[in-house]
Amino acid sequence: MSSAIATLNNRGYQMATPSPLLQDWLSSYDGQHPLLDIGCAYGINTYKALELGIPTVSMDLEKKHLDILLQNMDKEYRHLSTCVIGELPYSIPFSDNYFSGILCAEVIHFLDGKSIETSIDLIYRKLVPNGKFVMTMASDKLLEYIDKDMHTKFQDDLENGIKWPGEMPMDAEFTKKFQNIIENDGIRSEIDHIFGNLLHFCSVEQITEVLQHRGFGILHANVGEHPGYEDPEGLGTVPKRILLVVAQKL
């Protein structure tokens, strides 16, 4: 298995494997409207779509990722591929009703709550009716693994009506906790260099509620594993507690 590869902008790693929800995304192609891979990094998921002959737009906020994606792409797929710089929640530079399926793999946890809501509205607009939105992100179960007390507070806050209690600034204290816990598990990784300023942990209920409120039907939502969370030096695996969601524009 190949390793996860660090991003060039402190946004974690491109996973060592395609998304566990890859098939949901690929099968959302309707034969007419392209697929979109938001936060594509170096193209681990994009390539799978291209290999099936599916026209695919790869979007990332970091141009250097797109340059590498294009450099490594076989010539035979170039006619199917479009690369664009774009950033949630601000822009997906295509007209409305453009895509039959949108993948957003390991990206949403870099956004604060308000930006998640705005991003979901934007994604909704860009999908054709019945189009699918496929996403994975850090779950509250990962927060529980990092710090049980913080997770208890997360649950209490949710019960008390606080909307996005899982927004964790990657400050020195939280970074140290995260670092300690993975080191206890025998994993060597420099957390403070790879995640930027914020990591947002959400529960299944939170995300499904926001999606439903914005017009999506939920086809699938659970907390599960991502086999691609292998650390870059192959020293172990970071916790596999991610949120996996497939939603459909109603």
Ligand X SMILES: C[S@@+](CC[C@H](N)C(=O)[O-])C[C@H]1O[C@@H](n2cnc3c(N)ncnc32)[C@H](O)[C@@H]1O
Q: Which residues bind ligand X (CB under 6 A)?
A: 7, 9, 11-15, 19, 38-41, 44, 60-62, 65, 87-88, 105-107, 110
What the block records as the tokens of 44 is 């681990």
Distance between CA atoms of residues 12 and 27, nearest Å: 27
Q: Least distance to ligand X from the beta carbon of 153, Å?
A: 26
Q: Least distance to ligand X from the beta carbon of 133, Å?
A: 14
Cβ–Cβ under 8 Å, residues 171 and 140: no
Q: Least distance to ligand X from the beta carbon of 149, Å?
A: 27
Q: Least distance to ligand X from the beta carbon of 203, Å?
A: 20
DSSP string, 125-190: HHEEEEEEEEEEEEBHHHHHHH-HHHHHHHHHHHHTT-S-TTEEE--HHHHHHHHHHHHHTT----
Smaller CB separation from ligand X, 19 or 208: 19
Smaller CB separation from ligand X, 123 or 211: 123
Dihedral over Cα of 203, 208, 209, 214: its sign:
positive
Q: Least distance to ligand X from the beta carbon of 89, Å?
A: 7
Catalogue the E-assigned strands of the chain. 5-6, 13-14, 35-38, 56-60, 81-85, 99-105, 127-138, 167-169, 198-200, 216-224, 242-249
Smaller CB separation from ligand X, 41 or 54: 41
- CB atoms closer than 10 angstroms to residue 97: 14
Q: Least distance to ligand X from the beta carbon of 59, Å?
A: 6
What the block records as the tokens of 215 is 């017009």
The rounded radius of gyration (Å) of the Cα atoms in the chain is 17
Query: Which 3 state secondary structure label does DSSP give 94?
Result: coil
Smaller CB separation from ligand X, 44 or 211: 44
Smaller CB separation from ligand X, 40 or 134: 40
Smaller CB separation from ligand X, 158 or 223: 223
